[in-house]
Structure 1
């Protein structure tokens, strides 16, 4: 038979081989699990990134109102304050070409915003801005550009002199058509926001365009 030392040596080698095999198997399992967890972690991170990007787009592109370059955002609406001067009718055409219309003022808060912004942009008391109000269809019946009547509780006529006065010039010779369109603005500041004045529609002034703010991506122009 085999010598005892020989058998012991073989047994020890087998044990060592089994231990090494077990360690190798354990190492492979650990490497596999680490690789799996790494892949899973990367997928989780990518999922989080995708969700974050989707949320960001949803917040910035779909729900937050915004305006095109050159327009000012306020109260869900966009306002454009022109720098060039034109008649009331030309100004309205210009606003329409830009996707809006001459401004319609629906609240005291909106009047406050516009009065402040216009005053900041005026060079002097004559540097006023057209708004979308006229009584050209019927004298004394003031209508906004959407044909809705002026709410007298939200009228901000100036009172120095008292407005509207439909001035026709000297004995009606200078302005026989009267003053059928409205401008706003008082560089020195308006008492109680009252800075509307009726003027001759064919005079040249700056203007305020208005349109609803957009959601989603806005093309910069």
Structure 2
């Protein structure tokens, strides 16, 4: 039964799992008692991971329009807080990419001050997964400064280099995007 319940991030997959013992409205799972089973849920079309919900938009737009689309959905462009989150995201992005230029906007920019990379919540970048030679402040046809970050790397070489998939580019360049918001708690008992 425990393989369906992730205690680390408190996500819940007991919706379809039958539990054989129910005593006085308490659930027993190999020594754990849950008086009220609380689960993290995401809306349809969103994917739950690590306490957050992710929406992978496959329509392409500028970074600003992508961010607006995320905020319209009650979220923001993704902020990548850990290696574990990067592993999850690059795995999903690879599945959705058609070619190596088919990348996804994330919520990182240096548009306020060149070289000072900030997430949408104003926090500074403290862990990065830049591709080799990135950031390089170059964009196609040098149409604008490369102030926004997209992620994606179709080829898989193996090792830690696979996670280095961030590229700076012009914020006006149409890309797909990843929205992120906190998963909502709901009771299933």
Root-mean-square deviation (Å): 2.3
- Point out 4+ residue stretches in structure 1 off by more than 6 angstroms: none
Corresponding residue number in structure 2 for 1:210: 180
Shift of 1:83: 1.4
The structure where strand makes up a greater share of residues is: 2
Find out whether 1:155 has 2:128 as its counterpart.
yes
Give the number of the structure whose alpha-carbon radius of gyration is greater: 1
Q: Which residue of 1 aligns with 2:135?
A: 164
- Using structure 1 for the length normalisation, give the TM-score: 0.66
| Structure 1 residue 202: Cα displacement | 0.4
The answer (yes or no) to whether the contact 2:52–2:182 under 8 Å persists in 1 is: yes
In structure 2, which of residues 103, 112, 132 is the aligned counterpart of residue 137 of structure 1? Answer: 112
May I ask how many residue pairs the two structures share in their alignment?
Answer: 159
Greater percentage in helix: 1
- TM-score normalised by structure 2 residue count: 0.77
Is the partner of 1:116 in helix, strand or coil? helix
Q: How many angstroms does 1:52 deviate by?
A: 6.3
Structure 1: distance between partners of 2:24 and 2:107: 46
Shift of 1:216: 1.6
Structure 2 spans left out of the alignment, 5+ residues = 1-21, 28-32
Deviations 1:178-218 (A, max 9, x none): 1000000011126240000000000101000000000126x
What are structure 1's unaligned runs of at least 5 residues?
1-47
